[in-house]
Structure formats: structure tokens, C-alpha cells
Chain A
Amino acid sequence: MLTALTLVVGLVMIPGAAQAYTLTGCKWGSSTITWTNSAPAGTYSTSAVNAASSWASSSDINGMSATGGQLKVYNHNRGANGYAGWTDWGCAGNLLVGANVTLNPHYTDSYSQAKKQAVWVHEFGHGVGLNHSASSFAMMWSCPGCVYDNHFYNTPKSDDVAGANFLY
């Protein structure tokens, strides 16, 4: 009896634990997403390219090539605002019409290229329609730099991929 009850409880809980991602409510109209790279040359630009490529290689998002588009990537020093990066977006109905992905060099100048990539991966996730995940093993966790520090992750993980594949 106890074993059966445990099995039932386990089956009910597993799907929730497996899908910790949440969504912004907006997505691009196509799974082929292009972006404009205005990040400074060097570790910022390279890590942004690597982050975009990691989404394309791990999920159903196609391309993610820096060939121009309304998903734009920048650096902007906003000082000690507590945020390593942010993404602002505009949406018509449930379709994105533009998004700006930005890193804050006040903090990220001290990040390694690999850790910068972790933040870009997170912000690109916002840029394609993902909100924060409740999983501390997901790149969409509220602090991607912490995910990198704790696990050395800087590419989309299963929960992130599940969210992206749900959208695209």
C-alpha cells in the first residue's frame, strides 16, 4: 500500500520537477531567429556568438546567426544595479517585434569569457520568450553567473531546451 502510494506521489511530482521553465508570453513568429551583434569585439562578442550557437545546437531554434534582426545584443554600463544583464522586449499580441539583450560591464568586465557566455545564454533565453526557471541547474535560473560558479554550466540545459522546444 505504502509502495503504491509512493509510486503515485512520485509520478505526480516528476513532471513538475522536470519542467521548471516559465514563459514570457511572447515568442518570435519563426523558429529561424537572426540577431544583430553590437557587443564589443573580443570576449563579449565571442561569448555572445557562442551563446547563440549553443541555443541553435541544443534546441529546435534554427540558425541563431548574427546576420541582423530585431533581436539585438549590446553592452551598457548601468553601474551597481544588481543585474549582470537584462532583456527588454516589445510584443504585438503574443509575437515579439523587437528585443534588446544587454550585459552590464560594471559586473561582467570581471567575468571570464565562459561566465559571460552563461549570462548571454540566459539573456538570449529571455530574448526568445523564456522567463526564469525554478531550477538552479537551468541557465534560466535567476542568476546565471551563479549557475556557472556552481556547476560551470554555460550552455542551455534540459529545462531550458524543453522551454525553447515548447515555443519553437
Chain B
Amino acid sequence: MNRMRVTALFSGLVIAALALAGCTYSSGVHASRHTLYDSLEGIAGDSTTVALVEVVSQEVVKDDVESTISTIKVIEGFAPAGLGASLPTEALARAAEQPDFSEGTVSQLGTSAMTTTPAPILATGRQYLLFLTPTMLKSDGPTNFYVTGGDAGIYEVTGDGTFRHEVFEAGDRLPTVLDAATLGRAG
């Protein structure tokens, strides 16, 4: 029996036992960053795509930990200075396989049902400015992404045409407000 089945079986038994005992069960995921970003160029350098997207659907996938896979539709692409400049050639080659994609997926650790996740889980029907990087997993293709820097690469869309990220994780020092002029429109 593999680890996933053992975990699922254990979780199911625990939840059932707790329900019988009348206890509340909660779960969460915490994560440690590989890199922190102190500039727009820094996070753009680790991204192959920066785009205004809309989340059209979602599913929860169980692996070693539950993850949320969001299907995104690209509304507008941007080309900030230094885009992809820090990435290894394999990542750039992966992205180059499908440069003008209009739909893709974004995977995030955790689910919206958890009390804590490393980054806010995207919501279906909402629009975001996302900094994205290919997952680089063998099972995935050029349009299967992670958000660069987890929480760092998610900006909310405001009503005034700007993109906003109010509170960053300690250590990230990125602009709280971005606009299309700063990001530069993709050709």
C-alpha cells in the first residue's frame, strides 16, 4: 500500500473518529521559500509568464499533500524587464514549447478548506495578475504552472486598472501596486 493510500486511510479514520467524539478537525500546510524577492526584476527573472488571468475552474488533487489545480484563461500578457532572465535553460525551453497559450493550469499547495496554506488559494471566477513558472515536472507540459514565489507572485485586480498586493511574506520587498505601464505589454 503506497503512502498516499495510507495517508488517505489514516485521515479518513481520524476524521470519522473525531466526528463521533464531537471534536473539530482542522488541517493546514506551511512551507519554506527557496527564494525571497526584493525587486520586480527579481521575481520576473524567475518567471516565464506574467499575465492577467481569470480562474475558470478548479479541482483538488491528492498526492503527498492536497493541492488545488486552477484552470486559467489568459486575458492579457505582460513583458516586464528581465522576464525569465534567472531561469535555467530547461525552464525557458519548456515555456518556449507553447509561448502563445490562452489556457493553462496553476497548481498550489493546499486547499481553500484548510485553515492555513502557504499562499492564498485562487478563487474560481476571480481575476489575478500572476507571475508564473513552468512546474518542470516530467508529467506536466509547458502550460502547467506554479505561481513564482508562492504568495509573492499573486496580485489582486483593483477597479482602477492597477494590480495590488498589500501584505507580503516577511523578506519579500516587492511593489504593492503594479500597472500595465510598469509591467510592459507583451508583443
Contacts and interface: CB of A to CB of B under 8 A. Distances in A.
Interface stretch (B32-40, B76-84, B122-130, B158-166): B32-40
Query: Looking at B24, B34, B66, B110, which has the most chain A CB atoms within 10 Å of its CB?
Result: B34
Given A80-B91, A92-B24, A136-B170, A87 B135 contact: no
Given A79-B135, A100-B65, A136-B171, A87 B29 contact: yes
Nearest to B150: A82
A80 B146 contact: yes
Given A76-B64, A93-B24, A143 B146 contact: no
Contacts of A107: 34
Query: Looking at A87, A90, A104, A132, which has the most chain B CB atoms within 10 Å of its CB?
Result: A90
B109 interface: yes
Q: What is the interface of chain A mostly: helix, strand, loop, or mixed?
A: mixed
A24 B14 contact: no
Interface in A50-95: 74, 76-93
A37 to B, nearest CB: 14
A83 B24 contact: no
Contacts of A156: none
Contacts of A84: 32-34
Contact of A91 (B26, B134, B140, B149): B26
28 contacts: A79-B137, A79-B140, A79-B146, A81-B107, A82-B34, A82-B133, A82-B147, A82-B149, A83-B32, A83-B33, A83-B34, A84-B32, A84-B34, A86-B29, A86-B31, A86-B32, A89-B28, A90-B11, A90-B14, A91-B26, A91-B28, A92-B14, A98-B11, A119-B32, A126-B30, A132-B170, A134-B170, A136-B170
Interface of B: 3, 7, 10-11, 14, 18, 23-36, 63-66, 91, 107, 109-110, 115-116, 118, 133-137, 140, 146-150, 152, 169-171
Q: Top 5 A-B pairs ranked by shortest CB distance? A: A86-B31, A79-B137, A83-B31, A143-B33, A88-B65
Given A76-B63, A81-B135, A93-B24, 4 more contacts: A82-B147, A82-B149, A87-B29, A87-B30
